[in-house]
A and B are shown apart, each in its own frame.
Chain A
Amino acid sequence: MENVSKEKLVQMLERMWLIRHFEVRVMEVHAAGEFTGAAHPYIGEEAVAVGACAALEDTDYIAGNHRSHGHPLAKGGSVKRAMAELYGRVDGYCKGKGGSMHLADFSIGILGESGIVASSVPVATGAALAAKIRGEDFVSMVFFGDGASNQGACHESMNLAALWSLPVIFLCENNQFAVTTSYHDSVSVEHISDRAAAYNMPGVLVDGQDAVAMYEATREAVARGRAGEGPTLIEALTYRYEEHSLGLGRVRRGEYRTQGQIDEWRERDPIDVLEHTLTTQGILTREECDAISKAKADEVDEAVEFARNSPYPEPEELYDDMWADPIPLP
């Protein structure tokens, strides 16, 4: 904490508020029918992406998963282009071809997200392989869930990365559930981070509600990666406040968690935790924190306006972007 700069801390709060307001607005406009399709709110988990990305440079890479509005925003992605993508518009990150689960910004190292659980883990591992082959010192970080941690793709990638000492950070966001399945019912070890031992790499269990703790743990993992010391598995303990995906609450039949549990986690809301740190350390006043929140809410409102005003793609664009070296249509 002592060696985290004031600017870094303030930027973390800004990005957490940005993600929070983004997700709240997404839920509103989705409910109002402004766009369709699945979207997976990240509310409650903001400290994980923000703290972790704060330890990265633009030249480092990240890859995400289905619950991935927060990851690109945490790495400095454009809120307008992210929102326009959700709206399916040409100014979206993927010109409307990717949507909520496939935001990407290659210009700042966001290698994109995967709707197939754990599928981006090997991809991120490969970016780290390139660093090793070329002798460069960038790192690659991949976000995946507790559910994803059970996929072979994760295990194969962890073995590869440890075997070859690749600069990759496996960032497991343990938000307690995969849809309705508690990780206690799907993971054979007490902590997912315990699995690191099987691959001979450090496994770190972090309070995912504490952005500063996330930042510090990730910074260490990044330093190891840059020094050629190989991968790290970080397990961030966090919690998803909302339904697994928008609209799912309307169709789901049985319960899987109690209101009491939700309330308990909300007690340690990641934004409150960081604001508490900042105000008690005299870095920001309460009013300054509120002003940050307000500014980020405005930014999100502007993004919604931007998205609404962006055109849909033309029918002629259907076949665009299939190939880097185009071939005739079949």
Chain B
Amino acid sequence: MASTAIYVEAINQAIMEEMERDQSVFIMGEDIRRSVYGATAGLLDKYGENRVLDTPLSENGFFGAAIGASLVGMRPIVETLTSFMWVAMDQLVSQAAKMRYMFGGQATLPVVYRATMFYGGGSAAHHSDRSYPMFMNMPGFKILVPATPRDAKGLLKTAIRDNDPCIVFEDGTLGGATGEVEEGDAALVPFGVADVPRSGSDVTVVAIAGAVPMALRAAEELEEDGVSVEVIDPRTLVPLDKSTILESVAKTGRLVIADPAHKVCSAASEIASIVSQEGFWDLQAPIMKVAAEQVHIPYTPVLERLVYPSSEKIADAVRVTLED
């Protein structure tokens, strides 16, 4: 049955439903029993201390413990913020990402890292990371970037059931976004299938996470000028649904990519490279990247707002692709 939920509630529902369904699912993180971020509300009451673990501030230690537990049959969910992943990079990269391959397929690691990206709200350089491109560069992770409550719920449920290490980059700027969500198996969202929240014929805009609503606003604005924009939300970056993007570009001939991550070696860079190689003869204009400026995130709002993509920047880039 469908109902309305905000993004963070949708995440909570996913965890609740999967912990109910499968005894091997447990969750660990900092201050999750009292749910300081909202996504783990009510879990302690329902599932108890054994399956809802408040950890010490030891990300490298407990990220790794999640890996070890997953190796022997558990399905851990780890809650964290993107910015705290740095201190656990050893466990993420040297163990989670590499173990299965390195051990010739013997290791199976059904572990999910839920990493919230808080940016755009004056959190400054240490708390504003949108780090998914760095993880895309490392083979071994499935990387999910839900932009709607439906996808936040559905991708997380799929991730919990998936048998490989998954990182869900939850977009804090969308924490209050509202939308329809399904229940149970009907809520599952498959990996590697892009969503097309708006169809159009003149320009393709591929937008990632928090850039999706911006792209949709830009598309509405541009419609008033008679420009028809197709918006694609890849939803998962690994695996990436190339064909939906390439087919759209075959139709429009123009591509803008909106990505809240830093622009150098961003997800946008990878998508641009794929399209320039595999969709080159369909292109009628240079590919435009609208990604974050290559600087650290400044605290003061007057500077911070300059850094990220915006609907204005996306609309401007769309217009550039339409210039003769």
Contacts and interface: CB of A to CB of B under 8 A. Distances in A.
B286 to A, nearest CB: 23
Contact of B68 (A96, A98, A122): A122
A97 B106 CA distance: 11
A322 B239 CA distance: 13
Interface residues of A, number: 52
Interface stretch (A36-44, A126-134, A286-294, A301-309): A126-134
Interface in B63-100: 63-74, 76, 90-91, 94-95, 99-100
Interface residues of B, number: 50
A147 interface: no
Contacts of B240: 330
A157 B64 contact: yes
Interface string B102-126: 1111111110000000000000000
B56 interface: yes
Given A133-B50, A160-B56, A95 B105 contact: yes
Contacts of A56: none
A327 B65 contact: no
B38 interface: no
Contacts of A324: 100, 108-110, 162-164
Contacts of B150: none
Given A112-B107, A153-B64, A160-B58, A97 B69 contact: no
Contacts of B105: 95, 320-321
Interface in A81-126: 92-98, 102, 104-106, 111-112, 114-116, 119-126
Given A104-B106, A104-B107, A160-B65, A122 B101 contact: no
Contacts of A130: 68-69, 72-74
A123 B64 contact: yes
Contacts of A104: 103-104, 106-107
Nearest to B57: A156
A320 B104 CA distance: 8
Given A112-B107, A122-B63, A127 B58 contact: no
A316 interface: no
A128 B68 contact: yes
B74 A94 contact: no
B107 A157 contact: no
B140 interface: yes
A140 interface: yes
A270 B67 CA distance: 35
A115 B99 CA distance: 11
A152 interface: yes
B308 interface: no
Contact of B69 (A94, A129, A327, A328): A129
Interface in B162-212: 162-164, 191-192
Contact of A156 (B58, B70, B100): B58
A61 interface: yes
B69 A116 contact: no
B152 to A, nearest CB: 20
B238 interface: yes
A7 interface: no
B301 interface: no
A290 B238 CA distance: 57
A94 B103 contact: yes
A328 B239 contact: yes
Given A153-B64, A159-B58, A127 B104 contact: no
A283 interface: no
Contacts of A320: 105
Contact of A323 (B26, B67, B100): B100
Best-buried of A96, A123, A128, A322 by chain B (most CB within 10 Å):
A123
A121 B106 contact: no
B239 A157 contact: no
B19 to A, nearest CB: 12
Given A114-B95, A160-B62, A126 B55 contact: no
Contacts of B60: 122, 152-153, 156
A300 B11 CA distance: 54
A325 interface: yes
Nearest to B105: A321
B106 A106 contact: yes
A127 B163 contact: no
A187 interface: no
Given A92-B104, A104-B107, A324-B163, A153 B71 contact: no
Interface string B225-256: 00000000000001110000000000000000
B68 to A, nearest CB: 2
B65 A129 contact: yes
A134 B50 CA distance: 9
A163 interface: yes
A111 B162 CA distance: 20
Given A156-B61, A159-B61, A119 B91 contact: yes
Contacts of A125: 61, 64-65, 68
Contacts of B68: 63, 111, 122-130, 140
Given A104-B103, A325-B162, A325-B164, A114 B71 contact: no
Interface of A: 61, 63, 92-98, 102, 104-106, 111-112, 114-116, 119-134, 140, 152-153, 156-157, 159-160, 163-164, 320-325, 327-328, 330
27 contacts: A93-B103, A97-B103, A98-B103, A98-B104, A112-B99, A119-B90, A122-B63, A122-B65, A123-B65, A124-B68, A125-B64, A126-B65, A126-B68, A126-B76, A129-B69, A130-B69, A132-B50, A133-B26, A133-B50, A153-B61, A153-B90, A159-B56, A160-B62, A325-B162, A325-B163, A325-B164, A328-B239
Interface of B: 26, 50-51, 53, 55-56, 58, 60-74, 76, 90-91, 94-95, 99-110, 139-140, 142, 162-164, 191-192, 238-240
- Which are the 5 A-B pairs with shortest beta-carbon distances? A126-B68, A122-B64, A156-B61, A94-B104, A126-B65
